[in-house]
Amino acid sequence: MNRTTTPNWVRLMAGTAALGLVLTACGSEDEPEAADDTSSPSASADPSTDAAPVGDDFTNDECANGTTSADTFKAGGILPLTGNLAFLGPPEVAGVGLAVSDINAAGGVNGADACHQIEDSGDSTDMSVSTSSAQKLIADDVSLVVGAASSSVSLNFVDALTDAKIVQVSPANTAVALSGYSPYYFRTAPPDGIQGNALGSLISSDGFQNVAFLVFSDTYGTGLRDVVQETIEASGGTCTYGCKGDGDEFPAGNTTFSSEVSAAVATNPDAIVILAFDETKAIVPELASTGFDMSATYYSDGNTADYTKDFPEGTLEGAQGTIPGADASADFKDRLSSWSEFAGGGALTDFAYGAESYDATILAALAAYKGGATDSQTVQKNFADVSGASGGEECASYADCIALLDEGSEITYTGPSGIGPIDDENDPSSAFVGIYTFDATNKNALSATVEGSKS
C-alpha cells in the first residue's frame, strides 16, 4: 500500500509559521542542555529522558545455540553490519543490546531470559545477504526481528517472516509502501509522509522554488522524493530534474555521476535534493566541482551523516538534512555508547536510529510480558497495545512498565524515540524529525526538531 498523504502538524510555536512545521525544539546536538529547558531538544520534545535505566551494570547477552522463543525472549536483528548503510549499524546494534541488558536487569520476561542475535542485512546491491540472515533467524525461532535499516532490504524478506509468523520491527524503514504491509510488520520510525513533508517544507521556507533531485531507484529514495516534490509543489515550487515519472533515477550502487549532476545543474535549480546512501560520497564532489552553491543542497536520513573525513573543509557548510526520530537525551546517548564500548564495539560517533532500535526491542518484550509468553505470535498480538494504542498509564522503562502490568494496568510505553502509539497500519501515529545543519567541518549538527502526526 502506498500513502502520500501530507501529515497534520501540531503544536505550532511563534516564529515558525513560514516553515509549515511544528518547531518543538532548537539547539545543537553537541549542546543538549540549554539554559532554558523549553528550548532544549531533550526537554521540549519530551521523549523519555534516559529510558529510566534499572542500572548501568551492563551485560552483553548473546543468544546461545539451541535456544528458542519457547522459553527465551530472543531479539533477532537483521542490521547493516556491511554495505552502504553500515554507518547505521553500530547505534542500531547497541540499541538492541542495551535493551536486552535492561530487560534482564529487570528480571527478564516473565522469568525467561532475554538475548540478542544480530545478523547482517548487507544492502540492496546484494539481497542474498538479508535473505540468508532471515532464513537463519526463522530457523533459530526468534521472538522478533529488529531491522532492516533499508526499506528495500526489508521488502526482500518481510514476506518470509510473515509466512513464518515472526514479528519484524524496523527502527529505520520510512518507505510509504510498508504502511499496513503485513500484520507482522511494525516500525518505530515514521513513514516518509512525515519526513518528506518536513524536508519539503524546510526547502520552501528557505525560499527555494526551483528544485532538482538526484535520487536513486530505490523504494526509499523514490517514495521520499515523491512526498518532498508534492510538498514543494503545494507551496508553489517546481521540480526541474529527477521528478516523479521522468525516469532520471540512477541505480543503487552507482559510482559515477557526471551525467546526472550535469543534467540536474543544467536545469538551473535554486536547490538540489540528494536522496541516496553511500553514493553521496561520489555525488557531492562531482556537484561541488560545477560551482553549485553547496549550502543549497539538502539530504535525508540515508545520507545526513558526518563527512569530516570524506570532503574538504567547508564543502557542505550550511547544507541541511533531516533524520526521523527525537533527539534522545544525553543520558540515553551516554548509556548507548557505553554499552557499545562494553560489548567491544567502541564508542559511538553516530546515534541515528539507536533509540528506535531500543524501543523496538522494549516494546516487543513488553508485548511478550503482557501476553505471558515469549513466542512471536504473542508479541504480535500485544505490540500495539503496550505502545498505548488502547490507552493506558504512561511508563518510560521496561521495569516501570512491567510493574504496572503486574498491577493489571494498561500501559503506554514512552521511550527515548518519542514516537506515539502504533496505529492501525502498524506505524507510529506521531513522531519527531530532526533538522540538521552541516558545519565547516562537514559534520551534521541538530538545529531543530519538528513533530508530526499521520493524517
Mean pLDDT of 241-260: 96
| pLDDT value for 49 | 40
| pLDDT value for 22 | 37
Average of per-residue pLDDT values in the chain: 89
Phi, psi of 161 (to 5 degrees): -65, -40
Higher pLDDT, 452 or 372: 372
Q: Within its chain, how far is the Cα of 123 from the centroid?
A: 16
Indicate the number of domains in the chain. Answer: 2
Q: Looking at the domain assignment, is residue 1 inside a domain?
A: no
DSSP state of 186: E
Say which CATH number the domain at 445 has: 3.40.50.2300
Q: Looking at the domain assignment, is residue 57 inside a domain?
A: no
Mean pLDDT of 233-245: 98
Please check whether residues 263 and 203 belong to one and the same domain. Answer: yes
| pLDDT value for 192 | 87
pLDDT value at 452 more than 60:
yes
**Chain segment 390-448, per-residue pLDDT in tens:** 999 999 999 999 999 999 999 999 999 999 999 999 999 999 999 999 999 999 999 99
Please check whether residues 351 and 308 belong to one and the same domain. Answer: no
238 close to 209: Cβ distance less than 8 angstroms: yes
Distance CA 96, CA 140 (A): 18
- The confidence band for 33, taking pLDDT boundaries of 50, 70 and 90, is very low
Please check whether residues 286 and 374 belong to one and the same domain. Answer: no
Distance CA 210, CA 198 (A): 17
**Chain segment 336-394, per-residue pLDDT in tens:** 999 999 999 999 999 999 999 999 999 999 999 999 999 999 999 999 999 999 999 99
**Chain segment 70-107, per-residue pLDDT in tens:** 999 999 999 999 998 999 999 999 999 999 999 999 99
**Chain segment 287-319, per-residue pLDDT in tens:** 999 999 999 999 999 999 999 999 999 999 999
Q: Looking at the domain assignment, is residue 61 inside a domain?
A: no
Helix (H) or strand (E) holding 336: helix 330-342
325 close to 194: Cβ distance less than 8 angstroms: no
| pLDDT value for 212 | 98
Higher pLDDT, 293 or 44: 293
Q: Looking at the domain assignment, is residue 62 inside a domain?
A: no
Please check whether residues 132 and 203 belong to one and the same domain. Answer: no
**Chain segment 117-133, per-residue pLDDT in tens:** 999 999 999 999 999 99
| pLDDT value for 144 | 98
Please check whether residues 197 and 315 belong to one and the same domain. Answer: yes
Q: How many CA atoms lie within 13 A of 454 on its CB side?
A: 22
Domain of residue 150: give its range. 73-190+328-422
pLDDT value at 34 more than 70:
no
Q: Is 48 helix (H, G, I), strand (E, B) or coil?
A: coil
Q: Looking at the domain assignment, is residue 390 inside a domain?
A: yes
Closest CA to 45 of 20, 18, 14, 13: 13
Please check whether residues 201 and 274 belong to one and the same domain. Answer: yes
| pLDDT value for 31 | 31
| pLDDT value for 16 | 30
pLDDT value at 7 more than 80:
no
pLDDT value at 243 more than 50:
yes
| pLDDT value for 339 | 98
Q: How many CB atoms are located within 10 Å of the residue 357 CB?
A: 34
Q: Looking at the domain assignment, is residue 372 inside a domain?
A: yes
Please check whether residues 83 and 166 belong to one and the same domain. Answer: yes
| Antiparallel, parallel or unpaired: β 411-413 and 393-395 | parallel
Q: Within its chain, how far is the Cα of 89 from the centroid?
A: 12
Please check whether residues 315 and 209 belong to one and the same domain. Answer: yes
- The confidence band for 252, taking pLDDT boundaries of 50, 70 and 90, is confident
Which range, of 15-19, 97-101, 118-122, 215-219, averages the lowest pLDDT? 15-19
**Chain segment 132-190, per-residue pLDDT in tens:** 999 999 999 999 999 999 999 999 999 999 999 999 999 999 998 999 999 999 999 99
Please check whether residues 294 and 441 belong to one and the same domain. Answer: yes
Please check whether residues 215 and 278 belong to one and the same domain. Answer: yes
- The confidence band for 25, taking pLDDT boundaries of 50, 70 and 90, is very low
Q: Which residues are CB-contacts of 378 (< 8 A; sequence separation ≥ 6)? A: 367, 368, 371, 372
Please check whether residues 286 and 367 belong to one and the same domain. Answer: no
Q: Looking at the domain assignment, is residue 400 inside a domain?
A: yes
Q: Which residues pair with 449 in a beta bridge?
A: 25, 434
Q: Looking at the domain assignment, is residue 103 inside a domain?
A: yes
